[in-house]
Copies of this chain bind each other. A is one copy, B any other.
Amino acid sequence: MSKIIGKSLPNIPWQDKPEGYTMPVWRYSENPIIGRNGNKVSNSVFNSAVVPFENGFAGVFRCDSRSISMDIFAGRSRDGIHWEIEDEPIHFEGADEEILHREYRYDPRVCFLEDRYYITWCNGYHGPTIGVAYTYDFKKFVQLENAFLPYNRNGVLFPEKINGMYALLSRPSDTGHTPFGDIFVSFSKDMEFWGHHRHIMGPIPGDESAWQCTKVGPGPIPIKTDEGWLLIYHGVITTCNGFVYRMGVALLDLEKPWKVLARSKEYILAPHEYYECVGDVPNVTFPCAALTDADTGRIAIYYGCADTVTGMAFTTVDELLAAARR
């Protein structure tokens, strides 16, 4: 049996795999866990990130307003399932007014690293790029330099330094509904200057694994295991009626995370349920966070559904490793 290298999380949300279910990831029976009205101003709550915090959980949530303005909001939960999301977006402090100026913010990730929680998100700065901030308490948030030039989306930090450097996944993009997308990793000594960019993987052309033939992008913070980094990611195909977003998983080398040791040929979750197929953008399942329990190997994934609501799904480290190698 493989091991998650990380902390215990005895209170991880959990349901056992349903009898007879054969896919590696199974949905929470009460999905969606957060509806359109997650706070007082929201049109939709999706593509959001959570972490264990104090005795319970904290998170950063994408809430599109009823004017369809995109911003990110802090939230708290005792059980990881029922969430109280603030009605005011996060207010960032920081050293440089130019960087603090808000255009739009969406698709956050949260990563505990060394002594604090880092937030990364798609940040408008003359185009979409990767915003970076940290907090100790989910009350005060300090915004740092944007990690990259535009145009980029889906900035996802590794939860520890690799070879003495911070490591950040991302998916370079264009200015619109980008029809391409590869996953890269970049490194930094100081969370301020980034370099050593390495290509990890791109879409798979042709018929072999067509659900990921248009673009791929990183999802939750990678999960450290004794066999490598587990990266849950999204893959996209272009149908005659638009994009379909599904979930896959890859195993990356611990020391050289741009080396792909294994990668799921089959998707691990796809839009099949009503709340995943119908909504503001049909046929989207988009993972942004995962809780893990090192004692049991349990994993709880949080994912956006149809760009409208938030769902939860369960799996284990063994299921994901098997899926990546299948």
By a beta-carbon cutoff of 8 Å, the part of chain A in contact with chain B is 22-23, 36, 40, 43, 65-70, 98, 103-104, 124-127, 129, 145-152, 170, 172, 174-175, 177-178, 180, 182, 184, 186-190, 192-199, 202, 206-211, 213, 237-244, 265-267, 270-272, 274, 277-283, 307
Contact flag A206-B103 (CB < 8 Å), given A36-B272, A195-B145: yes
- Identify the closest chain B residue to A208 (Cβ): B69
Chain B neighbourhood of A23, CB < 8 A: 66
**Once bound together, how far apart are the Cα atoms of A281 and B200, in whole Å?**
30
Contacts A240-B242, A277-B278 aside, 18 further interface pairs with beta carbons under 8 A come to: A22-B40, A66-B266, A67-B211, A67-B265, A69-B209, A104-B207, A125-B197, A127-B172, A149-B149, A149-B152, A149-B172, A149-B186, A150-B184, A177-B240, A192-B195, A193-B194, A240-B243, A274-B278
**Once bound together, how far apart are the Cα atoms of A238 and B67, in whole Å?**
14
- Identify the closest chain B residue to A245 (Cβ): B240
- Identify the closest chain B residue to A105 (Cβ): B207
Q: Is there an interface contact between B199 and A244, defined as CB atoms closer than 8 Å?
A: no
- Identify the closest chain B residue to A180 (Cβ): B175
Copies of this protein in the complex: 6
Contact flag A174-B151 (CB < 8 Å), given A70-B210, A277-B278, A278-B278: yes
**Once bound together, how far apart are the Cα atoms of A243 and B242, in whole Å?**
10
**Once bound together, how far apart are the Cα atoms of A289 and B104, in whole Å?**
34
Q: Is there an interface contact between A103 and B186, defined as CB atoms closer than 8 Å?
A: no
Contact flag A196-B239 (CB < 8 Å), given A174-B174, A277-B278: no
Q: Is there an interface contact between B186 and A241, defined as CB atoms closer than 8 Å?
A: no
Q: How far is the CB of A18 from chain B (nearest CB, A)?
A: 14
Chain B neighbourhood of A177, CB < 8 A: 238-240
From B124, B210, B277, give the contact of A68 (CB < 8 A): B210
**Once bound together, how far apart are the Cα atoms of A319 and B18, in whole Å?**
46
Q: Is there an interface contact between A237 and B172, defined as CB atoms closer than 8 Å?
A: no
Q: How far is the CB of A65 from chain B (nearest CB, A)?
A: 7
Q: Is there an interface contact between B243 and A243, defined as CB atoms closer than 8 Å?
A: no
Q: Which of A104, A172, A187 has the most CB of B within 10 A?
A: A172
- Identify the closest chain B residue to A150 (Cβ): B172
Chain B neighbourhood of A192, CB < 8 A: 195-196
- Identify the closest chain B residue to A184 (Cβ): B149
Q: Is there an interface contact between A239 and B280, defined as CB atoms closer than 8 Å?
A: yes
Q: Is there an interface contact between A207 and B103, defined as CB atoms closer than 8 Å?
A: yes
Q: Is there an interface contact between B125 and A199, defined as CB atoms closer than 8 Å?
A: yes
